């Protein structure tokens, strides 16, 4: 009996253990102790340890924020890691067997631990203190970090030190911030390479076009790393006799391998769990875990609707409101005093809501596995929710006609649908290129005969009218620019819209849209003479008597019938004459700024046009222009701080939603008044994360530019990653999961960004940069002042060699990390530094306005060096212009450089290397394409060419490299197609899809790369990149030595032409 009981207990314990170990996911960044006996890893934002065979895990840290990237020193005494206790990653260290945690770095950039030196005295970490990110070292005992590699664009990371002093590393985005992108093959691929700082020896060990990355090295010098060469998934590799050799063949990717110092074990992530590879047996096994789990995501949280309402409607009886906040649906009285939440699906999101004619039934949209569908429910909460549509595409922008008998909405990428509000049956009435987001709201004409909507032609919006009875579709505008927001006048005589008639909306949008009124027929303005004649018209006494009789009878009628009769709108007759219709356009409103978000209301003989405009000091506000016969238009401000709004009419009242607040609108007085709606409701993050997962997946499914999803089964990816949703423990897990799924598309311009209040930490860090660079060997002695920085000012007396003594009156300890004195909870406007000059007995003090970063200044210095080099080598005959990105500000700087530098020289080098994109390719190419076509002069003066900047008449060379991306690739493609000159360098990144994005229920955001970019021959630039005419590569070692063979070749090519 005792034996049976013992066996039963053992079985129960085993079952309990299995239950605890089988559901531990999102364990990350594993590392090993030197003997390979213990794994240290990150879980629920803390560090834990567990035997390599698995079992009970023990928590090591419990700091605020997240602790990640643990690394054990080779002597087994110390644990280094990164932690966000101060709001950003800093490097910390603690005794492995317990003891005080010490902070080693203080800069407000992200400092991410990578590895240890073999003497256990130094920690390698990546930081963006002076550029996009490169490797630094910091001593175990503290002190100021030292940057390992020179040159602004040597972006070194994933450093692992070999026992002989070789430093193995990667240096591309694809092994760093784009490591989740699977399948990338291109010039910017990561390779395993090493460099020895002492011997200067350098070697690239792999040359595969895909990804080889994340080297980790044992004490014998054996290198392990990740590659996707075998089957397209990240697997573990090593070198055997110098040959790249796979060790695993998993069908799913591994992450972040780390070998033990003794070389017995390699630990890594797979399927969000810990795995270990036994070097001797060549077998990989799951590491079973037993640890306490505090699952907080299912816990309810309080949320408030106050100032957070995203959609609303007012009942036809003007007594009730319906509104949406954080994806939940609510009903209240029109003053917002009595609020009730309606029962909707907790794991889904409500987006829009409308009242039906009975002032009882609500028609609203709600996601179903990501796609918005239509539902109904009675507003009193007594009925059951009923799903009306079951579409696998998003339904949106619902509008009801004035009689509340029909509704129009958009569905998917192409459909305009009409819904019968009695049967709730929808019919597709138009199939056009709508796009599945960024749409105008369709609308009914005043008499309900027409629907107005916009569709795209050549990327620009055009206004279409659909006649419901005749089933006739009319393209009304037919222009090469965008016309949007079609809005009918209540009298049926006009159609209002916004447009910039002078330029297309794409590729860089418009900041000068105006409001236009389009008369639907050829109409005259009212005549003053007719009004004068009315003064002498005789009144009809019979009509007067009849009116008195009617008033008497009216007393016997019910009040509600009287009210209904008074509120009935007269039938609106409409006519449409499309002949030369666009010639009848009339501009309404200000001539300055941009106007949008138009609504039109009429009362008696006054027409009120409401809109958002920034014509007053560039600040957006709600404005009103009033049109009245025989009066000049009158434009007045209604409310400040409104950038968008929704307007609703109920009975004779008007309401608007702006900035999350419902307001009443006094139409004649031109004032708004907030309706104070304050109600607390509850949701949990588990349901919310699930809903966000499916909605963001569906957003990509509907809008991704490539219909074959780059060969990925996108639905299978959804289902594969969804199986991990039940195991999320926090927002970081969710962030990791969704970005991993996006990586399966092997595409650029993807990303999921989320931040929650639960991730906030108490402490904050802000580093103040002075503009000084210090001697690495003497970290408090000035090396130089960075040009254009805070201390690069007249009368600032700091010179190289000066020794920093005090920061804001605090005496420095030169053994301490210098950043400690320049990093505080917030950034000061002013600071005071005290120095001593070498050889002098007195100190001096300077005041300065510190800056947040030196990175931009150091980038500018790289440009300055190139400019001087080209001037020197070409003897001032060649202009050099670099563009950091393709934004409007950088374009303006480009033009200024051309007017000052190119104008006085004989040729141009346009440097688009490292360019991070934007959308001004067309402006740049138009400027470069200018050719002289005539010349003119004043009598006795010199001839001058037209245009002044005939750039194409002089030699041009464009420089590109593996980091030229996005709109830089568009520009290079156009440059080649237009045959404007030679292109020198390497193939571009293959990172070009024009992109937008969408928000989610909690304010999270995901990117939508929706518009593919192709050569005239139809080649997808995202897949092919741009190839140079002359291939020249600049290596890591050449950058270290400040050698630029690409720039040298460009100079040589142009000088050859100039001879």
Catalytic sites, residue numbers: 749, 966, 1022
CA distance readout (Å), 583 to 162, 277, 517, 615: 76, 75, 11, 26
Helix H or strand E encompassing 689: helix 685-703
d(CA 269, CA 253): 9
Does residue 482 contact residue 500 with C-beta atoms inside 8 Å? yes
The two counts, helices (H) then strands (E), for the chain are 15, 74
Cα 491 from chain centroid? 42
CA atoms within 13 A on the CB side of 421: 21
Q: How many CB atoms lie within 10 A of CB 158?
A: 26
DSSP secondary structure string, 733-799? Answer: HHHHHHHHHHHTT--SS--EE---GGG--S---EE-B-SEEE-SSSTTBEEEEPTTSTT-STT----
Q: Which of 625, 657, 653, 654 is nearest to 642 (CA)?
A: 657
The residues, ordered by sequence, that sit 6+ positions from 56 with a Cβ below 8 Å of its Cβ are 50, 290, 291
Long-range contacts, 569-575 (Cβ 8 Å, 24+): 569/402, 571/447, 572/445, 572/446, 572/447, 572/490, 572/491, 572/492, 573/447, 573/492, 574/445, 574/446, 574/447, 574/449, 574/450, 574/492, 574/520, 575/520, 575/521
SS3 of residue 730 by DSSP: coil
Q: Are strands 956-960 and 982-985 parallel, antiparallel or unpaired?
A: parallel
Q: State the DSSP code for 653.
A: E
Tokens of 1022: 């995202």
d(CA 453, CA 439): 9
CA atoms within 13 A on the CB side of 434: 27
Helices (H), 996-1041: 1021-1024, 1036-1040
SS3 labels along 611-628: EEECCCCCCCEEEEEEEC
Task: Render the burial of 905-938: b for 16+ CB within 10 Å, e for the rest.
Answer: bbbbbbbbbbbbbbbbbbbbbebbeeeeeeeeee
Helix H or strand E encompassing 553: helix 541-554
d(CA 379, CA 362): 6
Long-range contacts, 413-418 (Cβ 8 Å, 24+): 413/702, 413/703, 416/442, 416/451, 416/453, 416/466, 418/451, 418/468
């Amino acid at each position: 009996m005792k034996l049976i009981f013992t066996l039963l207990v053992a079985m129960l314990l085993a079952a309990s253990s299995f239950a605890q170990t089988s559901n531990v996911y999102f364990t990350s960044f594993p590392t090993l102790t030197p003997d390979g006996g213990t794994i240290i890893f990150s879980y629920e934002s803390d560090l834990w340890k567990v035997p390599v065979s698995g079992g009970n895990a023990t928590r090591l840290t419990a700091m605020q924020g997240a602790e990640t990237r643990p690394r054990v020193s080779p002597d087994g005494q110390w644990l280094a890691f990164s932690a966000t206790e101060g709001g950003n990653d800093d490097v910390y260290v603690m005794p492995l067997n317990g003891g005080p945690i010490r902070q080693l770095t203080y800069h407000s950039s992200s400092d991410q631990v990578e590895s240890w030196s073999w003497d256990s005295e130094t920690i390698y970490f990546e930081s963006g203190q002076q550029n996009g990110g490169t490797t630094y070292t910091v001593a175990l005992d503290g002190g100021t970090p030292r940057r390992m590699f020179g040159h602004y664009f040597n972006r070194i990371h994933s450093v692992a030190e070999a026992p002989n002093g070789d430093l193995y590393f990667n240096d591309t985005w694809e092994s760093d911030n784009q490591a989740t992108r699977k399948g990338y093959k291109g010039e910017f691929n990561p390779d395993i390479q090493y460099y020895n700082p002492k011997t200067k020896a350098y070697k690239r060990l792999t040359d595969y076009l895909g990804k080889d990355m994340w080297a980790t090295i044992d004490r014998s010098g054996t290198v392990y790393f990740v590659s996707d060469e075998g089957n397209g998934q990240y697997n573990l590799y090593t070198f055997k006799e110098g040959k790249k050799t796979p060790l695993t063949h998993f069908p799913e990717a591994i992450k972040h391998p780390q070998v033990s110092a003794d070389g017995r074990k390699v630990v890594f992530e797979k399927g969000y769990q810990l795995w270990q590879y036994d070097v001797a047996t060549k077998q990989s096994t799951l590491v079973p875990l037993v640890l306490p789990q505090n699952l907080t995501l299912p816990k309810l949280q309080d949320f408030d609707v106050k100032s957070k309402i995203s959609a609303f409607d007012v009942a036809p009886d003007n007594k009730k409101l319906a509104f949406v906040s954080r994806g939940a649906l609510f009903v209240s009285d029109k003053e917002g005093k009595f609020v009730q939440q309606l029962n909707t699906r907790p794991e889904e999101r409500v987006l829009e809501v409308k009242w039906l004619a009975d002032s009882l039934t609500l028609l609203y949209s709600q996601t179903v596995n990501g796609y918005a569908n239509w539902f109904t429910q009675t507003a009193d909460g007594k009925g059951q929710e009923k799903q009306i549509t079951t579409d696998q595409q998003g339904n949106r922008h619902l509008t009801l006609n004035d009689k509340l008998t029909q509704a129009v909405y958009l569905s998917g990428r192409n459909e305009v649908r009409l819904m019968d509000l009695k049967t709730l049956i929808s019919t597709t009435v138009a199939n056009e290129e709508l796009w599945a987001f960024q749409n105008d709201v369709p609308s009914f004409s005043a008499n309900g005969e027409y629907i107005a909507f916009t569709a795209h032609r050549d990327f620009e919006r055009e206004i279409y009218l659909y006649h419901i009875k005749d089933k006739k579709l009319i393209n009304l505008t037919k222009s090469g620019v965008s016309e949007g927001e079609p809005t009918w006048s209540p009298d049926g005589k006009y159609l209002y819209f916004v447009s910039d008639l002078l330029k297309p909306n794409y590729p860089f949008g418009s900041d000068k849209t105006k409001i236009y009124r389009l008369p639907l027929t050829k109409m005259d303005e009212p005549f003053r003479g007719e009004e004068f004649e009315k003064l002498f018209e005789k009144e009809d006494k019979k009509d007067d008597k009849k009116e008195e009789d009617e008033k008497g009878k009216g007393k016997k009628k019910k009040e509600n019938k009287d009210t209904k009769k008074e509120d009935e709108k007269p039938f609106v007759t409409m006519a449409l004459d499309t002949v030369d219709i666009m010639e009848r356009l009339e501009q309404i409103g200000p001539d300055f700024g941009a106007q949008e978000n138009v609504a039109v209301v009429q009362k008696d003989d006054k027409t009120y046009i409401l809109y958002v405009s920034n014509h007053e000091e560039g600040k957006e506000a709600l404005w009103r222009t009033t049109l009245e016969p025989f009066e000049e238009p009158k434009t007045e401000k209604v409310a400040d701080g409104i950038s968008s709004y929704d307007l609703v009419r109920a009975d004779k009242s008007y309401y608007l939603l702006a900035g999350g607040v419902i307001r009443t609108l006094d139409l004649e007085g031109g004032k708004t008044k907030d309706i104070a709606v304050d109600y607390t409701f509850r949701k949990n993050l588990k349901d919310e994360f699930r809903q966000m997962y499916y909605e963001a997946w569906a957003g990509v499914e509907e809008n991704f530019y490539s219909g074959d999803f780059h060969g990925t089964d996108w639905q299978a990816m959804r289902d594969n990653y969804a199986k991990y949703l039940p195991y999320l423990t926090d927002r970081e897990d969710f962030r990791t999961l969704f970005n991993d799924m996006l990586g399966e598309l092997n595409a650029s311009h993807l990303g999921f960004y989320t931040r929650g209040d639960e991730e906030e930490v108490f402490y904050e860090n802000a580093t103040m940069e002075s503009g000084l660079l210090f001697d690495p060997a003497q970290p408090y002695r000035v090396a130089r002042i960075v040009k254009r920085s805070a201390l690069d000012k007249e009368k600032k007396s700091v010179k190289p060699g000066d020794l920093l003594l005090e920061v804001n009156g605090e005496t420095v300890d030169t053994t301490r990390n210098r950043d400690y004195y320049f990093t505080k909870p917030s950034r000061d406007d002013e600071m005071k530094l005290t120095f001593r000059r070498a050889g002098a007995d007195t100190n001096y003090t300077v005041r300065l306005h510190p800056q947040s970063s030196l990175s931009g200044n150091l980038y500018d210095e790289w440009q300055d060096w190139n400019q001087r080099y080209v001037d020197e080598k070409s003897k001032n005959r060649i202009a050099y212009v670099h563009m950091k990105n393709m934004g409007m500000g950088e374009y303006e700087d480009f033009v200024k450089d051309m007017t000052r530098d190119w104008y006085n020289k004989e040729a141009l080098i346009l440097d688009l290397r490292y360019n991070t994109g934007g959308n001004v390719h067309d402006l740049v190419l138009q400027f470069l394409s200018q050719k002289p076509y005539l010349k003119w002069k004043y009598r006795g003066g010199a001839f001058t060419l037209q245009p002044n900047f005939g750039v194409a008449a002089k030699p041009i060379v464009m420089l590109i490299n593996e980091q030229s991306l996005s709109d830089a690739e568009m520009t290079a493609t156009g440059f080649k197609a237009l045959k404007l000159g030679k292109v020198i360098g390497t193939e571009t990144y293959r990172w070009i899809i024009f992109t937008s994005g969408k928000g989610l229920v909690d304010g999270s955001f995901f990117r939508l790369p929706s518009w593919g970019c192709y050569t005239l021959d139809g080649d997808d630039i995202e897949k092919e990149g741009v190839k140079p005419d002359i291939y020249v590569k600049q290596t890591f070692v050449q950058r270290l030595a400040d050698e630029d063979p690409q720039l040298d070749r460009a100079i040589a090519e142009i000088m050859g032409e100039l001879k």
